[in-house]
Homo-oligomer: A and B are copies of this chain.
Amino acid sequence: MRERVGRAVERRVSVVATRRSDGRIAQDRMLEEAIAAIAEHGLAKLTMSGLAERLGTSGGHILYYFGSKDQLLLAALRWSEDRLAEERARLLARRVPADRKLDLFLGLYLPAGPRDPRWMLWVELWARTAGNAELRVAQDEIDRGWQDDLVTVLVRGADKGVLVIDDPVAEASELLALLEGLSTRTVLGLGGTTRDGALAMARRATGRLLR
């Protein structure tokens, strides 16, 4: 069990370095496909053999890399958020006014629509958070990433005189909580919430908060 994890880690490192076997299914494909499958049918319906079939590989092979289904899920979460963290980093580096940057941030956070894969994964994993410390830690880390970057945007905006902030940490927290609530509703299709509606609402709240 333990060595499986180690193997998975090694693997990730060597993905770029070696590609000995062409038949080899990349871990990334596995994670991507797992997220897609969860988005389509829910985590409850995700079976190792079903996922393997989608990938044209064997269930044993997936476990060979990830060790267990829980680890696979955790890896999927991290993989998904790693890419978003990169997008956020790119966003932070862009030369656009702070208010525009903040707006882009909102768009990045909110789900693309109902059943958005990334958010479906979050919702599914929330249900497992209570019983899985490793998962909670990972979620906390990811959350902190969003929080820190948002604080950065706010502080820079204040420095430039574009945004009026008071307590950037508290304001970021509030904004993220609102975004999370909006996202949950959007992705689950509750209350008729759409991405556009959520975005509009987030913008209004942002305007009120920072002016």
- Which residues does A use to contact B, with CB under 8 Å? 3, 41-45, 49, 53, 115, 120, 123-124, 126-131, 136, 139-140, 143-144, 147, 170, 173-174, 176-182, 184-185, 188-191, 198, 201, 204-205, 208-209
Contacts and interface: CB of A to CB of B under 8 A. Distances in A.
B130 A42 contact: yes
Contacts of A182: 177, 181
A178 B174 contact: yes
A53 B3 CA distance: 9
A170 B204 CA distance: 10
A140 B178 CA distance: 19
- Determine the main DSSP class of A at the interface with B: helix
Contact of A41 (B131, B144, B176, B209): B131
A189 B120 CA distance: 20
Contacts of A176: 181
Interface centre among A42, A45, A190 (most CB of B within 10 A): A190
A37 B185 CA distance: 26
A20 B46 CA distance: 29
A157 B54 CA distance: 56
Contacts of A140: 190-191
A185 B191 contact: no
A190 to B, nearest CB: 6
A177 B176 CA distance: 11
Contacts of A178: 174, 177-178, 181, 205
Contacts of A44: 127-128, 131
Nearest to A189: B136
